[in-house]
Amino acid sequence: MMMMTSKSSSEKTSEYLPLDLLQEILFRSPVKSLARLKHVSKSWYTLITDPNFIYLHLNRSLQHNKFSFFISNSNNLYSIDQDPTATTQLLSDHPQHRGFQVKASCDGLLLLLLSLKSSESKSKVFLRIWNPSTGEFINIPAANEYVSNYNRETYGFGYGPYGSNRKDYKVLVVARSANADKVKIFSTASRSRTWRVIKDSRIEHNNFHKNIVYDRQGVFVMGAFHWLVFGFNLGDVPKDGRIITFDFECEKFNNIQTPKPLDFINENLRLSMWRENLCLFVQDLRDCSSHIFVMKEYGARDSWCKMYSIPDQTLKKYKRYRLWSMVCFIDDGKILLQHEHVSRPKVVLYDTKSCKFDELELREDLESVLKKWSDVYAYVPSLVPIKDITR
């Protein structure tokens, strides 16, 4: 008698579910679940690893503000919204590391600058593009292998052309000196794996070396990277606050007008993103009220609108915590805010519908490790494979 092999339950399920319905279910699944589900069957693996699915899933996450976030103490990154028993080890393959900085993020990928111990007086550094959701990464050489002060370098990370699934991810560095700026770009799709110099006359107009980059991190939106910068009047008084952009497709610098004149003396400012739209967080330090402006039509100053306001009264329970920064939106109507306090930092979620705060308590085992944590980093979890961006 001939024995017939039975199909697995997952394959039977796939037969009974229309493909569009299965895709819709998977689109709504978090990245961590998809990483497991792709091993259910060959058909599911093919679907979940398909580039079209990966980027449609990513776009849906961006549209719904599905951010995750980490906190850093300069030696490692620690998850505070995923598995509470897990920590993220980034540098185990480099025991001689001195520390790192998160410079930018794009499509769920983080750009890290790692510093290694060296016998030289200067630090030896290199860059890493890392997907924290999958653990994959690639190392790329820094534009300057030895630097005495890499805080003088301004970084950008993104891709072009915008909206394409065949993305050429690029790293930008503006090396700022007292007299001039030198702009270099690295393309992950280039076989040469070398930096090339960009000559753009508008960088002379923007002249980074005569400005202070206000944001510790910029933001990639609509195919361009954005930084908040300001210059100085006589007497070292900040002036001319503006947003400088770099378009990764045409590799040109430009400016975007802000929704209002920026006051770098009396305001705390941060660029962020809301559903793939550029947004600006403004906290007035005189009355501690906060406002979030969103640019509804990219590049059009008239399209800036005040989306949310956080009145001073809602912050009364945090009297010691005067200075707040916006990290990102979480889902619809919730905003992640951080405050770096000397004795005990705070990370809170503000619900714009109920006008209430929900404080995020750190795990007990991280309290001692993170007494001197430096920042909170947000990213959108994605399945973007590192091996594909280097093809």
Which is nearest to 344 in space by CA: 379, 372, 315, 380?
372
Asked whether residue 27 falls in the same domain as residue 113, the answer is no
Q: What is the identity of the amino acid at 114?
A: L
318 assigned to some structural domain: yes
Q: What is the mean pLDDT of residues 181-207?
A: 77
* pLDDT tens sequence across 306-335: 988 887 666 556 555 566 777 788 776 788
Give the pLDDT band (50/70/90) at residue 214.
low
Domain that holds residue 112: 52-389
Residue 136 included in any domain = yes
Determine the length of the chain. 391
pLDDT of residue 226: 93
Supply the pLDDT for residue 304.
94
Going from the C-alpha of 3 to that of each of 8, 10, 11, 268, 301, the distances in angstroms are: 16, 21, 19, 72, 71
**Are residues 136 and 40 both part of a single domain?**
no
Residue 5 in this model has a pLDDT that exceeds 50 = no
Residue 3 covered by a domain: no
In which residue are the tokens 């910068």 written? Answer: 229
Residue 234's pLDDT is 43
45, 83: one domain: no
Asked whether residue 94 carries a pLDDT value surpassing 70, the answer given is: no
Long-range contacts of 258-262 (CB under 8 A, 24+ apart): 258/301, 258/304, 259/293, 259/295, 259/301, 259/304, 259/305, 259/306, 260/293, 262/228, 262/230
Parallel, antiparallel, or unpaired: how do β-strands 168-176 and 153-160 relate? antiparallel
pLDDT of residue 10: 47
- Together in a domain, 25 and 131: no
Report whether 355 contacts 315 (CB < 8 A): no
Residue pointed to by tokens 């992950």: 188
Asked if the structure places residue 117 within a domain, the reply is: yes
Residues 180 and 110 in one domain: yes
Q: Of 30 and 90, which is predicted with more confidence?
A: 30
User: Which is higher by pLDDT, 350 or 58?
Assistant: 58
Whether 4 maps to a domain, the answer reads no
What distance in Å separates the CA atoms of residue 83 and residue 16, rounded to the nearest whole number? 33
Q: Compute the Cα dihedral for 292, 295, 301, 305 and give only its sign.
A: negative
Question: For residue 218, is pLDDT > 60?
Answer: yes
Among 284-288, 318-322, 347-351, where is mean pLDDT lowest? Answer: 318-322
17 plus 59 within the same structural domain: no
Output the pLDDT for position 255: 86
Percent of the chain with pLDDT over 70: 67
Confirm whether 1 is domain-assigned.
no
Helix axes 19-27, 51-63, angle to 10 degrees: 50
Say whether both 38 and 60 belong to one domain: no
The reply to whether 323 and 352 lie within a common domain is yes
H helix count then E strand count, the chain:
8, 24
Is there a single domain that holds both residue 14 and residue 87? no
Query: Do residue 173 and residue 276 come from a single domain?
Result: yes
- How many CB atoms lie under 10 A from the CB of residue 305? 12
Contact 142, 155 (CB under 8 A): no
Mean pLDDT within 221-250: 76
| Same domain, yes or no: 37 and 68 | no
Regarding whether 40 and 113 lie in a shared domain, the answer is no
Number of domains observed in the structure of the chain: 2
123 belongs to a structural domain? yes
Q: Which residues neighbour 34 within 8 Å (Cβ) at sequence distance 6 or greater?
A: 26, 48, 57, 383
Give the span between the Cα atoms of 197 and 195, in whole angstroms: 7
- Give the residue-averaged pLDDT of 337-361: 73
For 34-151, where are the E strands, in sequence order?
Answer: 68-72, 77-79, 97-106, 109-116, 123-130, 137-147
What is the CATH number for 297? 2.120.10.30
Q: What is the DSSP string of 195-212?
A: -EEE--HHHHHH-GGGSE
- pTM of the predicted model as reported, rounded to 2 decimal places: 0.83
Residue 359 has pLDDT above 90, yes or no: no
Per-residue pLDDT at 14: 54
Task: Identify whether 381 is preceded by a cis peptide bond (ω within 30 of 0).
Answer: no
